[in-house]
Structure 1
Amino acid sequence: MRSAAGVIGASTGNDRVAAESIVVTPRSPEDTLQVYRPVCLPVGMFKASVILVLMWSSGYLGAEMAARYSSWHMLLSCRFAVAAVLLIGFCVVRRLRITRAGIARQVGLGVVMQGLYLGAISAAVGAGLSPGITALICSLQPLVVAAVAVPILGERIGPREWLGLAVGIVGVGLVVGGKMNSGGAPWWAYLMCAGGMLALVSGTLTQRRINAPESMAAALAVQCVVGAVIFWVVNVIVGEMVPPMTFDFAWSLAWAVGFATFGGWGAYMWVNREAGPMHASTLLLLVPPATILISWPMFGDAIGPWEIVGVAVSAVGVAIKLIGGRAHSGAQQTAPRRTPARATEVRGPELVRE
């Protein structure tokens, strides 16, 4: 079938010929061929997004388990030390190399994303800040990323994306609304939590902007070494050098290394590289609802009706944001491009101009 806007359909006596040989003849020089981007997520990105939400939620669950047996800095120091050893061994076996410039880049990212972010958040919770308020403050990350995405990355945020972010944050508020008891946390705990959130925003945008060529395993290995050094220094300062030698602590440590570090941070870095900081940050809006749902069977935490409503509202908000973002991105990529009025014959993957 001949069409000015593109191939709409074709049917001839020979289906094979119709599928492999279609002639498109523009009616005038003004006609253009536009390709519309699908608004649904690719299967690989959808799987990575689900893994990110579940694994990131596991970090909070692991911290809750470990808090019963050790301090937050002891858990983080052991977590990063074990993860660094495993990742370095993996890189040696796979012969993954990293340059000095790459090491320098990842050291900087490790200080910001592992040291400042996790250190500030953990210290705030350790000072008495409730997990509900912590989750609510951290849920503001997508708004901060959206506000600075235009000047730093040149990304445009459409109205539907802003609507999705707003709906998602309302959902988070409903989820954590029943758990807002601060427990008498000092004022600086709130500042540390906000500072940790800003540190993650800074590291996320920097990682996307520099577009580092090193493999994710090598990059995460360097960051884990940095995190281990930072939190072992904290252990030395407070005089806590020996971790608890119990099965419960070992189990919580294995949980943190396997799920939070390898699963959570690995998925976050991959999604940020492939889909951008807005996509990765928006998915974190689903972490508080997912944490609530998972902690119910694990720790017996009760789930009220407002929390169930909040889970649904958060999911709707994230869906609006992601679908609106892909549609907006697709519209930007389909700008008209004028082509000369010549017949174009398409044979399979090849283009032959007459």
Structure 2
Amino acid sequence: MRNLPAWAWTLALPSAFVMLWSTGFIGARLGLPYIEPLTFLAVRLLLATGLLLVVALLMRAPWPNGPQAITHTAIAGLLVHGCYLGGVFWAIDRGQAAGVTAILVALQPLLTATLAGPLLGERVSRAQWAGLLLGFAGVALVISSRLQGGTASAATLASTAVALLGITLGTLYQKRFCPVTDLRTGGAVQFAATGAVLGTLAMITETGQITWTGELIFALGWLVLVLSVGAIGLLFLLIQHGAASRVASLFYLAPPLTVVMGWFLFDEALAPSAIAGLVVVVVGVILVQRARPVPPPEG
């Protein structure tokens, strides 16, 4: 994968990641009526663990080298999968509008760029900052037409803040401490650790009742194969080969694309502000991706 041509890293792989990541709402929308959120995530992650474990053993993939590497890999997984997914699913399940959640989580690229300097030594150029701010403004414009319905409470806002910090710190932690971890074995470690933690929380806080339907089975299959294996694998691959702020900017494309998918698949309204916001987001992401990286300070 390291020998892929430049166009693959700059266009094909980021595009594939955004497309796959944006389909997460399909699984959540189909599955949550039949299963509680933490139970849903625990089952999903444990299924993904089993799948990646089989793949890793059949392909004889290398495992993280020693207890310290395994611990770092598990912590990155707990942040990205446990805090982010758990926080988002819990907030939406408790009635918070999906649009409110999306806007708050969309702060992730800006927060990542702010922390990438002190934590990773990366410098963000003025053009990249402009692109990041444009991207957030575009996301807010897209989501502004979708804020009807749902409520927000101190608990759901706190849950969303946990999700925001989880995906931000998890991205930076993966870049800093797990830069060369094999995606197959590393993914199995991360999913196993996070599935165990969320499963324990689910047993403590939820009833564990599951209504098995065709929609739920499809949702689980979709989230395991497309999201947990496909999108997450591409995310960590991009993190290994690019600056954290550049990779984070791709998350701006997911909410607008999700709105477009909702219009196409579920006949949801697509307001003019959403179309305008999508254009602004694309311009912002292009600015971030095309800007020349700033060299680190000497000394």
1:263 aligns with 2:204: no
Between the aligned partners of 2:279 and 2:203, the Cα distance in structure 1 is 45
Q: Matched residue of 1:179: which SS?
A: coil
For the residue of structure 2 that corresponds to 1:244, the secondary structure is: coil
Alignment of 1:69 onto 2:34 = yes
Matches within 5 A, 1:26-45: 42-45=7-10
Query: How many aligned residue pairs are there?
Result: 291
Q: Structure 2 regions of 5+ residues with no counterpart?
A: 1-5
The structure 2 residue matched to 1:85, chosen from 35, 40, 50, is 50
Distance 1:138 1:245 in 2: 30
CA 1:242/1:94 → structure 2, altered by over 3 Å: closer, same or farther? farther
The answer as to whether partners of 2:35 and 2:209 remain within 8 angstroms in 1 is no
Give, in whole Å, the separation in 2 of the partners of 1:225 and 1:153: 27
Q: Tell me the amino acid that sits aligned with residue 178 of structure 1.
A: S
Partner residue of 1:169 out of 136, 139, 142: 136
Q: CA RMSD in A?
A: 1.9
Quick one: percent identity of the two aligned structures? 27
> Which amino acid is the alignment partner of residue 60 of structure 1?
F
Deviation (angstroms), 1:239: 4.8
- The C-alpha deviation readout for 1:230-249, integer Å capped at 9, x for no partner, is 22213311353353222111
Change beyond 3 A, Cα 1:42–1:234: same
1:64-103 superposed Cα distances (whole Å, 9 cap, x missing partner): 1112222212221111111100100011101123133332
Give 1:5-154 correspondences, 5 Å limit: 42-98=7-63, 99-101=65-67, 102-154=69-121
CA distance in 2, matches of 1:248, 1:211: 36
Normalising by structure 2, what TM-score?
0.92
Equivalent position to 1:217, from 184, 190, 211: 184
Runs (4+) of structure 1 moved beyond 6 Å?
A: none
Alignment pair present for 1:203 and 2:185:
no
| Structure with the greater alpha carbon radius of gyration | 1
Shift, 1:196, TM fit: 1.1
Q: TM-score, normalised by structure 1?
A: 0.78
Give per-residue Cα distances to partners, 1:5-32, cap 9 Å, x unaligned. Answer: xxxxxxxxxxxxxxxxxxxxxxxxxxxx
Given candidates 220, 238, 261, the residue that maps to 1:294 is 261
| Contact 2:179 2:240 survives alignment (8 Å) | no
Q: 3-state SS of the aligned residue for 1:155? A: coil
- Cα deviation code 1:161-220 (max 9, x no counterpart): 111111111110110001123622212211210221111111111111124433111111
Q: 1:59 touches 1:264 (CA, 8 Å); kept in 2?
A: no
Task: Report the counterpart of residue 19 of structure 1 in structure 2.
Answer: none
Matched residue, 2:276: 309
- Tell me what 1:341 maps to: none
Q: Could you tell me whether the CA contact under 8 Å between 2:46 and 2:195 is conserved in 1?
A: yes
